[in-house]
Amino acid sequence: METAARDFLFEIGTEELPPKALRGLSDALGAEFASLFEKAGLAHGEVRCFATPRRLALLVKDLAEKQPDRQVERFGPALSAAFDDDGAPTAAASGFARSCGVSVEGLSKSDRQGAVKLCFTRLEQGTATTELLSGLAESALAALPIPKRMRWGASRTEFIRPVHWVVMMFGEEVVAASILGVFTGNSTFGHKFHHDKPIELTCPGDYEAALDKTGRVIAGFERRREMIRNLVTEQAIHLQASVAMDEELLDEVTSLVEFPVALTGEFDREFLQLPDEALILTLKYHQKCFCLEDADGRLFPNFVTVSNIASLDPSEVIKGNERVIRPRLADAQFFFETDKSRSLESRLLDLEKVVFQEELGTIAAKSRRVAALSRVIAEQLGVEADTCERASMLGKCDLVTDMVGEFAELQGLMGSCYARNDGEPEAVATAIFEQYLPRHTGDRLPETAAGQVVALAEKLDTLAGLFAIGQPPTGSRDPFALRRAALGILRILIEGELELDLVAAIDAAVGAYAELEPDADCHRQLYDFIFDRLRAWYADAGKQASVYLCVRALNPPSPLDFHRRVEAVADFAGMPEAAALAAANKRVSNLLGKSGEEAVPGAVAPELLSEAAEEQLLARLRRQSEEVAPLFAAGDYREGLTRLASLRDDVDRFFDEVMVMVDDSSVRANRLRLLRELRDLFLQVADISLL
């Protein structure tokens, strides 16, 4: 029989919620309720979430009116213990029957874990949903990701913001409860300025339409977001421009308004002399405005702001925004012009007063270390070392400029602007900006050779310093973003196809901290930390962990070489011969491990080979070794492993026909050397025994 169902509406009305947290809170509320319904066994349809600056809500379609009934079984003693030899109930059987509220005759028998036992079965009625909803709502709210809760008034109740109303309806019925100190009802509230009055709801399905038509509130976050995107785009089209659409800003603006209205303002053309990023950041962070640009990407002297009110005189709202924006841009222009009056080089002394990390010294000291390390890396990669060293020395100078002091996000970018103003070579200016790339997952990489070198040196110095003082990241803390730095190094080397001996670079980086007397194992710890990032990288790419571990066992010093080996092993693992050869290599490793001294170094003695299978294997190994040697030397591991796959039949035949651990010690040792030669051939790429 089909269970009766009704729609369920839950809304919590608050003071203005933190805009950057709104979307996450809404998603979490929906996920928590869905999880709780599943645990309670309550069937339901679509769960729709709503979020505005003043509310979090969800509408659940077709929520079951009660939990399903269920059969509950209780098992008692085994029949052998439940009845005596005459078939009379024992004390154990009688006691179990009393605990179930029936006679022994009212019990049934059932097989349980291989034994027939007394059993009591009863039908447990499901609880009505109305009795569960209050507790479910409280549990869902308590589980929201709120880093810091607040109290208000004399209440001990805590939430992210003070709560003013709560709606909880199951069909047309109000679910009576007190949630966060507020009694539930069926009245929501409209827009704070357009309709700050109660809106009575007759059923959950009326919610979105009632807020839209009566309350002047667009309750759906995604709907409001796309509405803002379209409104801003329309404003741009009127000026024959396009929008420099910033998705992060779009989310924030969506979280700030309930009824969006887009308005276009303008500013003086003189401000277009500012670097584009500085102008965009000023408008974005201070005024939450969108910038406009032409087909060539040049900025217009206009902006689009999104208001939370439909004003009777929009021109006044625009003028108000323009009045606020002008001094902001004037400040940015003043900072820019003031900064340009001093060269970057003249600011090196200022860096002596800025601490990078208490134990690691100043930013000036870091700049000198990065400059020295960049020379080491540049010489390895065949890049102009003087350019890299110069960019490294000037790379942090913009940290003490007024512009970066106002907008930390402009570090590197302003340094490159000021370097060009100072007449520094373009390669130096570009490298100053590229040193911070990639800044986040998926961000672009440095494109110039000097930029790649300085970015590697900058990240590696930070990693080496923190490891030298015993402060690697923990599971919950990574204040210097060391994981991101390590992944950045790997991406630059692998995606940029740069053949760098990272072990040597780590040695140079840690060596710069010799006066701190780092732990003797610091180099190995840092190597492990960096290369361990690749495990998750390859997992995300769909490669099995065993493929990564095969290569990791060899600890190649070059990330690019490591990557080539992984790609080759991943292809090899998909070949039909792979499983047999991997098993054979594992068997060889076990035999060599057990043999101890008998697996002594030395070449295989052909005169000690007596079986056709071992003679054939040796001949094939020598031939294959000659064929794959140039391939492995060139880093073509994929082709090399493909050719080695042809050894399968010879290896299988050897293990089928030849006894390795014979009594004759010289023959036994010779056969072990033959197997070691087989394993060593594969170990030029990876330890495939781990597949």
Query: What are the φ/ψ torsions at residue 631 (nearest 5 degrees)?
Result: -65, -45
* Any domain includes 293: yes
Expressed as residue numbers, the domain containing 305 is: 221-340
Q: Which two tokens stand for residue 108?
A: 């049934």
Q: Pairing mode, if any, of strands 115-124 and 70-78?
A: antiparallel
Contacts 24+ apart (CB under 8 A), 621-626: 621/647, 621/674, 621/677, 621/678, 621/681, 624/681, 625/681
DSSP 116: E
Nearest to 324 by CA among 289, 274, 272, 276: 289
Q: Which two tokens stand for residue 39?
A: 């645990």
Identify whether residues 424 and 521 lie together within a single domain: yes
The answer, as to whether pTM is greater than 0.85, is: no
Half-sphere exposure (CA, 13 Å, Cβ side) for 161? 17
* Any domain includes 422: yes
Identify whether residues 353 and 327 lie together within a single domain: no
* Any domain includes 396: yes
Nearest to 414 by CA among 505, 291, 613, 279: 279
Half-sphere exposure (CA, 13 Å, Cβ side) for 576? 2
Identify whether residues 589 and 482 lie together within a single domain: no
Burial of 238 (C-beta count, 10 Å sphere; 0-12/13-18/19+): exposed
Residue 506 and residue 526 in contact, taking contact as beta carbons nearer than 8 Å: yes
Identify whether residues 197 and 251 lie together within a single domain: no
Identify whether residues 523 and 627 lie together within a single domain: no
Identify whether residues 194 and 246 lie together within a single domain: no
Q: At 423, which CATH number?
A: 1.10.3210
Last residue of a domain, one of 91, 123, 155: 123
In degrees, to the nearest 5, what angle opens at C-alpha 512 toward C-alphas 510 and 517? 70
Last residue of a domain, one of 189, 213, 237: 213
Identify whether residues 155 and 41 lie together within a single domain: yes
d(CA 29, CA 41): 18
* Any domain includes 550: no
Q: Which two tokens stand for residue 339?
A: 């900064």
Query: What are the φ/ψ torsions at residue 606 (nearest 5 degrees)?
Result: -60, -30
Q: What is the model's pLDDT at position 598?
A: 46
Q: What is the model's pLDDT at position 110?
A: 82
Which letter, b or e, does each residue of 5-41 get, where b requires 16 or more Cβ atoms within 10 Å of its Cβ? Answer: bbbbbbbbbbeebebebbbebbebbbebbeebbeebe
Q: Which residues of the chain have pLDDT under 50?
A: 1, 597-598
Q: At 602, which CATH number?
A: 1.10.730
d(CA 344, CA 394): 6
Distance of CA 653 to the CA centre of its chain: 48
Burial of 430 (C-beta count, 10 Å sphere; 0-12/13-18/19+): buried
Q: What is the model's pLDDT at position 112?
A: 78
Residue 185: strand, helix, or coil: strand
Identify whether residues 483 and 375 lie together within a single domain: yes
* Any domain includes 193: yes
Identify whether residues 21 and 44 lie together within a single domain: yes
Last residue of a domain, one of 508, 542, 576: 542
* Any domain includes 359: yes
d(CA 601, CA 106): 79
d(CA 344, CA 93): 91
Identify whether residues 467 and 432 lie together within a single domain: yes
Count of domains for the chain: 5
Q: Pairing mode, if any, of strands 182-185 and 163-170?
A: parallel
Q: What is the model's pLDDT at position 600?
A: 59
Identify whether residues 115 and 179 lie together within a single domain: no
Identify whether residues 306 and 405 lie together within a single domain: no
* Any domain includes 289: yes
Q: What is the DSSP string of 399-455?
A: GGSHHHHH-GGGTTHHHHHHHHHTT--HHHHHHHHHTT---STTPPPP-SHHHHHHH
* Any domain includes 466: yes
